[in-house]
Structure 1
Amino acid sequence: MIDMSRPCMIKVLAGSALSLCAVVAMADDTLGLSESVYSVAAPEITQAPSGTASPWRFSVGAGVVNMPKFPGASGTKWEGVPTVSVNYDRFFIGSNPDAAALLSLGAYLYRDSNWRVGAAVTYDFIEPRSESDDARLNGLGDVKRTAHAELFGIYTYQFISARASVLTDIAGNGRGTVATFDVMGRYQPIPDLTLSAGPGLTWASSKYNETYFGVTSEQSARSGLPTFSAGAGLNQLRFSINGAYRIATHWNVGASVSFAWLRGDATDSPITEKTSQITYGLFVNYLF
């Protein structure tokens, strides 16, 4: 278990999570949020009167995000999101950037000065896709919120972090399985400002791609779009740029922008209007 009193561990916990900037890859389908959620919302290590680190960490905040109306959309929408989290030792609930989720319940299975490995159950905060989002979706039906089981691992060495995850739909709502890999480099020009940037990719199962990019015969009849079958494979490449600034002892503000490019069958889907996607957000958090 991590010695939470060590300054280097505080630095790792407070600023080394990756940007998971896909528009369509993981639990919330709002992955441009993840690095900003972590940079802004990572709970501080509070000291107990005895001088030992408290196992409790809290964060309360919110953000606004501009994101595509649906995976492959040309139009965008605004969403408000919470960044509320409670951590007790290795257990967490609420927003957790390591799990890339706004709603999560999980635990770290292993932690040391370089590694964080964990498991979580997550749930979508934002509706993944609704017919009412855009006229192009008429007749395709809604993509429902669902619960996911996830395994994730983060390796940090100096200013570089690498994150991998696998998560799968455990509620039977057709969301399939996705695997992600991201690398992030961090830079602190001044002590209170953290900048980060890096690439990532997402692999998606045929079930996931069929749900978001496939068109069944029934959907074709209702929507007028041609039928289309989407198989498993590389789904997306991405690059993100993020910043977080400590404006006071317990207050952080942050911003994030991610650029994503659909790949594989997602690019050929009749649902897809635009293969390049941009997500950006602004956040503020109180840490205690």
Structure 2
Amino acid sequence: MTSFSRKSVGCSVAVLLGLSQSAAAEGGFFDWVHGDWYLTVGASGIVAPRFEGSNSRIFTASPIISLGKAGAPARFVSRNDNISMSLLDDGPVRAGLTGKFLFARDNDIDDLKGLDPVRWGGEVGGFFEIYPTDWMRMRGEVRHGIRAHNGIVADISADAFYDVTPTIRVSGGPRATFATAKYFDAYYGVSASESAASGLSRYDPGSGLKSVGVGGAVNWKATDKITATVFSEYSRLKGPAADSSLVKERGSRDQLMFGVSATYRFDFQM
């Protein structure tokens, strides 16, 4: 495991242990669980690159799920936030568990023929977010791959937001993603046998910066429980992703996606 991997795992474990100790100090786990909770569910329809690094796009749909203890409403929620369970929600600071479902990448299209398929799987880890001002949120996620890959992925973002009306909000800001070699190997690596079968140059990636970009959204709070969003994201592949023969010879460093989403919030007690 690289030094980047060890640091990422250490940060994730430290955050989660700290949250568990905090919950215990406030009266024990069961006392912490008792109370009002919310579950937000929904879906998004997205026009995005056919695969990571592709120069063509396809329409896909994905679920949106967020679970946490009820309290003061979150100041800001982004469609980039992965499935989240808040364990600490204290005004300007929020932290907890996060996860992401990963769809399989088959090799049934011309650009991927000869490459090993990537199995469906997921990523689990922790998130931490903070509001340095009343109009900006900064969020970080660190996740470890399961089944699809065995690497570690870290997302960092900052979003400024402004309420045009009481029900319409615009937001946007920069993003960056880092990953370890095992992640890049699954999605961007080309082994000797894959090179012979696909015609792509052999490529053995390391760890590092995956992409930098910017995104924006317009949110409409239709009711107290229903929210609809229009969004767009652009990212520029960097480092091990940009250097991949899959991207250089058959894809593009420029990745653009856009779409719409809708969510509904359920309130319940435990």
Smaller-chain TM-score range?
A: 0.7 to 0.9
- Whole-angstrom distance in 1 between the partners of 2:254 and 2:261: 24
Of residues 103, 106, 109 in structure 2, which corresponds to 1:126? 103
Unmatched runs of 5 consecutive residues or more in structure 1: 1-53, 91-95
Cα-Cα RMSD: 2.3
Of residues 237, 248, 259 in structure 2, which corresponds to 1:262? 237
For residue 111 of structure 2, what is the amino acid of its counterpart?
R
Which has the higher mean CA deviation after the structures are superposed, 146-155 or 273-282?
A: 146-155
Of residues 119, 128, 141 in structure 2, which corresponds to 1:165? 141
- Whole-angstrom distance in 1 between the partners of 2:95 and 2:79: 9
- Whole-angstrom distance in 1 between the partners of 2:80 and 2:68: 13
Is 1:123–1:145's contact at 8 Å kept on the other side of the alignment?
no
Whether 1:179 aligns to 2:157 is: no
Report how far residue 167 of structure 1 moved: 1.0
Is 1:246–1:252's contact at 8 Å kept on the other side of the alignment?
yes
- Whole-angstrom distance in 1 between the partners of 2:183 and 2:257: 20
Whether 1:79 aligns to 2:60 is: yes
Aligned counterpart, 1:113: 91
More helix by share: 2
For residue 124 of structure 1, what is the amino acid of its counterpart?
F
Report how far residue 137 of structure 1 moved: 0.3
Cα shift readout 1:19-43 (whole Å, capped 9, x = no counterpart): xxxxxxxxxxxxxxxxxxxxxxxxx
- Number of aligned positions between the proteins: 223
What is the TM-score of this pair, normalised by structure 1? 0.71
Residues 160 and 238 of structure 1, relative CA distance in 2, 3 Å threshold: same
Of residues 190, 213, 231 in structure 2, which corresponds to 1:238? 213
Is 1:98–1:154's contact at 8 Å kept on the other side of the alignment?
no
Whether 1:66 aligns to 2:47 is: yes
Cα shift readout 1:109-133 (whole Å, capped 9, x = no counterpart): x22111011124x351533x2212x
- Whole-angstrom distance in 1 between the partners of 2:100 and 2:140: 19
Report how far residue 258 of structure 1 moved: 0.2
Percent of paired sites with the same residue:
24
Residues 118 and 147 of structure 1, relative CA distance in 2, 3 Å threshold: same
Is 1:186–1:195's contact at 8 Å kept on the other side of the alignment?
yes
- Aligned to 1:131, the other structure's residue is in SS state coil
- Whole-angstrom distance in 1 between the partners of 2:164 and 2:100: 36
Is 2:102–2:123's contact at 8 Å kept on the other side of the alignment?
no
Aligned counterpart, 1:17: none
Is 2:100–2:124's contact at 8 Å kept on the other side of the alignment?
no
What is the TM-score of this pair, normalised by structure 2? 0.75
- Aligned to 1:211, the other structure's residue is in SS state helix
Report how far residue 224 of structure 1 moved: 1.4
Report how far residue 88 of structure 1 moved: 4.6
Cα shift readout 1:229-269 (whole Å, capped 9, x = no counterpart): 11111110010011111223433211110000000122221
Report how far residue 213 of structure 1 moved: 1.2
For residue 65 of structure 1, what is the amino acid of its counterpart?
I
Unmatched runs of 5 consecutive residues or more in structure 2: 1-34, 72-76
- Aligned to 1:255, the other structure's residue is in SS state strand
Report how far residue 141 of structure 1 moved: 1.7
Residues 161 and 85 of structure 1, relative CA distance in 2, 3 Å threshold: closer
- Whole-angstrom distance in 1 between the partners of 2:153 and 2:66: 24
Is 1:137–1:223's contact at 8 Å kept on the other side of the alignment?
yes
